[in-house]
Amino acid sequence: DQPYKDDQLTPVALLAIAPSIIVTNPSNPANNLKEFVENAKKNHTDRITFSTAGMGSTPDFVGEMVKQETGLPIQQIAYKSGSEGVTAVMSNQVNATSEASIVTLPLIKAGKLKALATTWVHKLASAPEIKTTAEEGYPNIRIGHWEGLYAATGTPADILDKMNAAVRQATKSKEVLDALSKSSIEPGSGTRKEFTQFTQDERTRLGKVVKKGNMKAN
């Protein structure tokens, strides 16, 4: 559970967005998400396991989105962490998962995982050969691991504006951009108003996924 209620916090700035990558074991014959779906349907697969980091985690949402958008018989398997879920794919205990690029890209490049698609709106700068879910025909499978800066509700607007400006300035520095680009992480940008709108839009969009999938806490 979060230590604070939503109304106790005010959005200040988007810090960064790390794209997710849907991955499978290198032994899987599919080379992308479209092939993964086609193979499962052609073989009349009755269960596809998808590891997650628990209810409400980004992999949990990706698994549910894949289930809703492709019609595949996805069964989410909860692990204690995203890294354990990734390890389960590498050891062929589960069929697939999704995790942030900072975790998955090094393993993909080392041949320990196979990328099926990235779930963010842009291709990965450091791995442009990986297609987006939209390019694979599934634009509604869209999510990223984003981090934002929040302040206590009631903080004066001028202080919030200064905090936002400081973050935007920092994310333009060469040091920050170079560090983020190695894992294709996008730096944060935008005003406080834009970040607030982003969080509201994501909550609304993901709320529909929760409702349609009847996602409940374990």
Inter-residue contact 10 to 155 (CB < 8 Å) = yes
pLDDT score, position 1: 47
Cα torsion 98, 100, 102, 105: sign: positive
Question: Rounded to whole angstroms, how far apart are CA atoms 89 and 93?
Answer: 6
Determine the Cα–Cα distance for residues 151 and 120; give it in Å rounded to an integer: 27
Residues 6+ apart with CB under 8 A from 201: none
DSSP characters over 127-189: BTTSPBTTTTT-TT---EEEEEEEEETT--HHHHHHHHHHHHHHTTSHHHHHHHHTTTPEEP-
State the first-to-last Cα distance of the chain, in angstroms, to the nearest integer.
13
What is the reported pTM?
A: 0.86
On average, the pLDDT of the chain sits at: 91
Answer with the residue of higher pLDDT: 8 or 113.
113
CB 185 within 8 A of CB 17: yes
Please indicate whether residue 183 or residue 112 has the higher confidence score (pLDDT).
112
Instruction: Evaluate if residue 201 carries a pLDDT over 50.
Output: yes
Of 96, 119, 127, the closest CA to residue 205 belongs to 119
3-state secondary structure of 78: strand
Higher pLDDT: 122 or 111? It is: 111
Instruction: Give the pLDDT confidence score for residue 41 in this predicted structure.
Output: 95
pLDDT-derived band at 216, boundaries 50, 70, 90: low
